[in-house]
Structure 1
Amino acid sequence: MPRQSIGPRLVRRRGKPNYYVRYIEPETGRQKDVSTNTRDSEEAQEILEEFLRDRRLSRSSRALPPYRVKIAEVLDAHHARLSKTERGDRFLCSMQHILEFWKDACLDAITPDAVLDYETQNVRTDKKPGRARATVRRELSDLRAAVKAAAVNHKVHAIVFPKLPRDGAPRERWLRRDEFDQLFAEAANEYRSAEPLQLFLMIAYYTGARSGAIMGLRWSDIDFDRNVVDYRLPDRGEVTVDHKPRAITPMAPPLRAYLLQRYKAYETVPEFVFHQKLDHTRRVNSVVKGFRATVERCGFKDVTPHTLRHTRVTELRTMGMQPHQVDAFLAMTAETQNRVYTHADDDDLQAMAMRIA
């Protein structure tokens, strides 16, 4: 008659100073010893109790406690889910910065003090280099999303993620038409990215869409008969991506003419609007590097790809469009328009003053 298992217990192995936890693997039925890395009996007993507690949790659920799951594992799993989407490259960048700070730590190391230290060490100031506050906040938001996904998939018990750093103040920068014309003309001098950069500038300026939505466009998303650009995800018609609403945006005549000219120039129309010059099957995922270089040559300050979205909203409101019309054009609520995106030009304010007089 086989001897009944007495469960996990502490043992000493010949020639080894430390205690071991001995148990039977349920999957294989084999005996296994795991070192406690201590020769102190009281410490070893505490480790055994922790082992038993984790064992009970793992039997009731696949989820593990945060102190048993490494941050790197959670990030890897989340990146694997995002790697085939437009968010994959951006998340990988966040992941690299996060691991530089937390290294090989487990999820229980994500404390309010650690989040504050991450912000302090990485946010750019006048006295030290770094990254923009909004960028650091986005990295922590990516980490929070990865942890939440792990909990939803029962890989780890849910944790209360610390409060994220405050978001930066809305930028007041937007482009006048002559500034946009200068930026577009200067983009032609980019050695490698002139064509995709100018294409990006045209679409961003006239539709006001976010960079990620623009760079993910397929030619099938552009309907010349209906005269619209459909930013919703293909085949699913999702109007919200990453909690950001997507719109079906009408094309202004200059944009339609520009896109139609490029479309007709193809012998075989590629899938994606942004692609390599010599290999149309390879996507171009970003024009940020060329954008920054062009902005620097123009001598502009505080201009990013998102500035073009600020510009479009401001111009639509200046033209007299009502908030609900702007919302339909850009999928942007009136509250967001008023809080973040609309700016008053000095000339407009002077004209208003004259009308009052």
Structure 2
Amino acid sequence: MKLYNDYRQYFEKTLQGRYVTLAHILPLLNRYKNEYEISEIGTSELGKKIPMIKLGHGTEKVLGWSQMHGNEATTTKAILDFIKLVSEQKIYKKEMLDFLQEYTFYIIPVLNPDGAANYTRENANKIDLNRDAQNLTQSESRALATIFKNLNPDLCLNLHDQRTIYGFKTGKPATISFLAPAANKKRSVTPSRKTAIQHIETMTGVLKTVLPGQIGRYDDAFNPDCVGDSFQMAGVPTILFEAGHIADDYQREASRKYVCIALLALFGIVVAPETNILPYRKIPENRKNFKDILLRNVKIPEFSKAKDVAFQYKEELVGDVVQFVLYVDEIGGLTTYFGHKEFNLKGAEILVNSQKKYQVGEKVLEIVNNNDDSVLFIK
């Protein structure tokens, strides 16, 4: 796949890293104002605009929104990559033209602009918009509900990021995951859910050729307060996207590529052979089985036997840069976990911040193997 190998030639270079706000998006939308229809569906609780861009003029209406959680910007980057690809048509030109004829794609790049600015999951009132589908207490929730009602879309795309903790029993991380949300407590395969499942199978059919073993299925526990479940209840096929982790890609510059490829597959711009289709129930369900750094067989003074020590990053906004700050996460027999980085200490002692004693929740600046003075981590 030419796009896969040469992605950086085509992606939106102005959007990089984890901190993406409305201020980054508006100049890009201004670039497209003479090419596509751009509107405002409402404002945030702090009065920021919530813009929407419309691509195509086909009969099949698709509504997608990103950054419902303000600190989840990977799918926003992927959406702007997709728009750039469609606009420039440097590759897949015929398929892009067919897409514009067949579909009308309404895209809300940043549903939660206040949360995006503060780099928080919640909005300015500390409300999780993805738990506000029934009560509609927040202006952002009402804006989405109104545009959903007015457009009456044929398909909805709920675009998110997932944490680095997700993976599979194979030891591979969940780099992208999907869900066809349930429409009731029985998790019945309703007509709308069946359609969403078929679309997911189409996307995974393409993705498995470039991302084997790293495509997951998100937990489908029913919650009517979640937007995806709510829209599925209304009879509109809805798909949850979750952009995840791969290798050292903490800035999610590789992950964005897989989300964009999924969108291209969804709209038939890239196609997989029939034999590649992966049945929905055979997509492995996400497990919480990864740590960012995992040290095996560490000698700890308080214990008679060696233990495993896990460390996890927390994302902290400093100025306009997201910093990854490491903390001690867990100490014990962590045999069911994998590490994105793993070291077998073979009974060696470690120093955390130059100290032999450390505890869960402690901020980490340095980890050193006390036996040979090798540095395992340094901020």
Q: Give the structure, 1 or 2, with the largest relative contact order (CA under 8 Å, sep 6 or more).
A: 2
Q: Which has the higher strand share?
A: 2
TM over 0.5: no
Q: Which has the higher helix share?
A: 1
Query: Which category of TM-score, normalised to the shorter sequence, fits these structures?
Result: under 0.3
